[in-house]
Every structure is written in C-alpha cells, then in structure tokens.
Structure 1
Amino acid sequence: MSSQYRQFLKILEKWPLDKNKQGRDIAEHLRSLLPILQQPDRSTTAEQMEHINKQNDALNRLSKNIYFSTYKREHHSTATGLSANQCSQVLSSEFLQYLKEQKD
C-alpha cells in the first residue's frame, strides 16, 4: 500500500460525509478518488506522484483547520449576515429541492 494512500485514508477519517449535501459533498468526492490511489498503475510518473503529494498536504492542512486557527476571525457571520449553521441549512439538499419545487 502506497504512503499516499495511507495518508489519504487518514485525511478521510477527519472528513466526515455530510448527509445534507448528497451528490455535492467534498468528502463524497474525495472518497471517489480512493480507487485511483489504491491501484496506481505502472505508468504513474514522478510528476503525478508529486502532484498527489501536494494535494494530500493541502487536504491535510484543510482537515486540521490550520488556517482557521492561524488567522483568527473577528466576526463569526458571513457576507449574507447568516451564521455558519444557517448557511449549512440553506445549502442542504432538502432546502434546495424545496426551492426547486417552489419554482416549478
């Protein structure tokens, strides 16, 4: 098992699936990349491996909230004035489906 694959699995453990965003969740997309890392073929170049390592490092920084911890926020609202929880509710699949039904 490659070191990139093991590192990716550790990242996925920190990134849970969001049931409210089925089909639009980044964790869901990341899990779809597992087969690529699980069985790299012999034609994988050093350049591609370097790209995978950079992606793993970036995902690891995001999953650990390094930038959130480094750059403290003064305000905890968004540009819309909604809280993070309210934004999550507005972006849920159920709410988007409700809006679509109201439009039709």
Structure 2
Amino acid sequence: MSATRYRRFLKLCEEWPRDETKKNRDLGTFLRQRVAAAFREGENTQIPDPEKCDQAYESLARINANTYKQRFPRVRDTSFTGVTAEECKLLWSGSVQQSEDEKKSLWKTLTERFSSKPSEEVPEKTPEK
C-alpha cells in the first residue's frame, strides 16, 4: 500500500509547478524535498500513520488543482491595497532590488529607531526636596 502512496506523491510532484524566480522559497521545491525525505526507501518505505499521509496528499492535491480558487472565485483582481496579483508576484519574486533600508537587519533598524535622543530634547528631572 505504501508503494501506491509513493507513486501518488511522485505524480503530484511532477504536476506541481516550480517557480524559478523564488530562490529557496519555492513551494514545489520544498514539496519535492519533503517527499524525498519521507519516502527515503522509495516504494518500500513503511509509513507510521497512513491516514495522516493520505490526508496530506489530498490537501496538496486540492491546492494543486486550484479547488478553492474555483469554488470561491475572487470578485476583483486586486487586494485592498489596489495591487494586482502580477505586481505582488513581481515584488515577492525577489527580482526587485531591495533598498538599503530593507537590507538592514531588524535589530539595527529597531536600535536606530529607538535610540536615545540628544540630551537637549530630553527634559531633565529636578531633584525632589
């Protein structure tokens, strides 16, 4: 029975599209790696929880077939920001060069933003008598 599951996952991996613009962030590549790790011995792999494996396959197959996109069509092609899907894809693809501010680490950005201000802007406390 695990041979059938293995073949189904292999077929799903073949059908799943790869997005070459998303380096190290592509869902198709991640799926292929996970299937390879889960089925190390190929068709001879013993699956500890077959029901969970079947549920995972069915969920991935529904995503790949755009089941929910067809069941719940979008009214508009834009989001609340007015950005189209193509523009979002371009932004998330990584092909757009990041500005210097975006290249800073989160820690550096926060420390710059919340660093203490010059002493003349901060009122001094008067000693209580």
TM-score (norm 1): 0.80
Distance (Å, rounded) in 1 between the aligned partners of 2:45 and 2:15: 27
Question: Which 5+ residue runs of structure 2 have no aligned equivalent?
Answer: 104-129
Query: Number of paired residues?
Result: 98
Distance (Å, rounded) in 1 between the aligned partners of 2:78 and 2:87: 10
Contact (CA 8 Å) 1:5, 1:38: kept in 2 or not? no
Cα deviation digits, residues 21-79 of structure 1 (max 9, x gap): 1101111100101322252644x32xx22111111000000110111111122111123
Higher relative contact order (CA 8 A, sep 6+): 1
Secondary structure of the structure 2 residue equivalent to 1:91: helix
Contact (CA 8 Å) 2:39, 2:45: kept in 1 or not? no
Task: Please tell me whether Structure 1 or Structure 2 has the larger radius of gyration of its CA atoms.
Answer: 2
TM-score (norm 2): 0.66
Aligned-residue Cα RMSD (Å) equals 1.9
Which residue matches 1:54? 55
Distance (Å, rounded) in 1 between the aligned partners of 2:45 and 2:71: 38
- 4+ residue segments displaced more than 2 Å: 101-104
**Displacement of 1:90 after TM fit?**
0.2
What residue identity is the alignment partner of 1:74?
A: V
Question: Which 5+ residue runs of structure 1 have no aligned equivalent?
Answer: none
Identity over aligned residues, as a percent? 26
Task: Provide closer, same or farther for how the CA distance between residues 54 and 4 of structure 1 changes in structure 2, counting only shifts above 3 A.
Answer: same
Q: Which has the higher helix share?
A: 1
**Displacement of 1:102 after TM fit?**
2.3
